[in-house]
A = this chain, B = another copy of it.
Amino acid sequence: MATYPFGSGRPDPASFPNRELGEAAMRVLPEMGNQLALYPGSLGYQPLRQLMADRLLKREGMAPAVDEIALSNGSMQGVTLMAQMFIEKTGDGVIMEEFSYSGTIGAYKKEGAELIGIPVDEHGMRMDALADELKTRADKGNLPKFIYVLATFQNPTGSVMPLERRKELLKIAGQYELPVVEDHCYADTVYEDYYVPSLYTLPSDVPVVHIESLSKILGPGVRLGCFFTKQPLLGQILSLRRDGGTSTLAAAVVHEYFRENLWTHVDKINSIVKEKRDLMFELLGQYPEVFEWFSRPKGGLFIWIKLPDATDRVKCEQIAEDRGVDYATGAAFHVHGSDVPYLRLAFGYASLQEIQKGIPILADCVREAQN
């Protein structure tokens, strides 16, 4: 692992509740009866689905029925299932932000989709650009199959789409009858007041599929997330699921821990990660000639940095690697892999000390990579 790990989106490792999960396992596993000898089913362990519903109700004021929620292998399985659901043949289009999560880009390309990148600003996907794109495509009889959007703490840009724009998005989607997939995996990593209602809570003429993750507040190693939408779409998506279901063992242990500790845990890790974010911004601010940030995210795990146009990105990456600084390149988040003058810094995983030392080193790397 890199000395300065700013690459992957991971939570704070020091606050991971290893011992508490062990204790939770010791409490719950002996009481599991025959449940681990059964297949989890396509929805999965009921108590964790109930906890997910309670969490949504508290956060969004509105939750789906417990039997409309399906547990999944992180949010990633949900993301992938949506492509299997909506992409019927090679070349079927999917609308995304021009910069989006690299995992989604990879999964949807693999499924044969045409990725249609809509330009973004500091408030997320631009609705004027979306309307233009869809009008052009409608005129040609070449409409895409669905819209994938990271409306809250967008990855990589950190933006939050304002309420009015969300309503506009749903209106446009309704106009062209396009289902909307809302990847909401960063919704609990919050450092400043930001709240905007999820798309699924807003009136809509088209189905909204909502995807959640526990990877960002607990850890990606547990591989737990969930997704939900209304019937009959939910059943159609679940019929594509061919993995036997989500681990009841992992779900039961995590449920037992979160049963009493969810919000305490979330508050605790958010206050730790906030400190890291603040320090990273403070340090980035000391190098205005090399770092320009796209937005100052109130949540999520990333800062999207615009580099000077004259930066030799390959050289920069090599120097950084030599000096132990890991970051994600801008191209990884561009829907067509274009070599854009950006990089993404993750602030959740590295320690304060690593951030303190690593950002000045990264500044040197960028400076030395100018043409």
Contacts and interface: CB of A to CB of B under 8 A. Distances in A.
A57 interface: no
Nearest to A16: B37
Contacts of A100: none
Interface string A106-134: 11001000000000000000000000000
Contact of A29 (B12, B25, B31, B223): B25
A74 B244 contact: yes
A194 interface: no
Contacts of A224: 247
A314 interface: no
A35 B34 CA distance: 29
B19 A30 contact: yes
Given A242-B103, A249-B250, A221 B25 contact: no
Contacts of A242: 76-77, 79-80, 103, 106-107, 110
Given A21-B29, A80-B242, A110-B242, A39 B249 contact: no
A65 interface: no
Contact of A243 (B12, B74, B106, B244): B74
Nearest to A90: B89
A30 B8 contact: no
A244 B39 CA distance: 21
Contacts of A38: 8, 10, 13, 219-221
A266 to B, nearest CB: 15
Given A16-B37, A25-B25, A76 B244 contact: yes
A47 interface: no
Contact of A249 (B34, B107, B222, B243): B222
A40 interface: yes
A23 interface: yes
Interface string A62-99: 00000000000110110110000000000000000000
A37 B216 CA distance: 9
B34 A16 contact: yes
A105 to B, nearest CB: 11
A32 interface: yes
Interface string A230-273: 00000000011011111111100110000000000000000000
A361 interface: no
A18 interface: yes
Contact of A26 (B26, B73, B76, B240): B26
Contacts of A8: 38-39
Contacts of A247: 73, 221-224, 247, 249-250
Contact of A77 (B19, B28, B243): B243
Nearest to A25: B25
Contacts of A30: 18-19, 22
A86 B19 CA distance: 43
B240 A223 contact: no
Given A36-B218, A73-B246, A74-B244, 9 more contacts: A12-B37, A16-B34, A18-B31, A38-B221, A73-B73, A73-B243, A77-B243, A222-B247, A249-B254
Interface of A: 8, 10-14, 16, 18-19, 21-23, 25-40, 73-74, 76-77, 79-80, 103, 106-107, 110, 215, 218-224, 239-240, 242-250, 253-254, 349
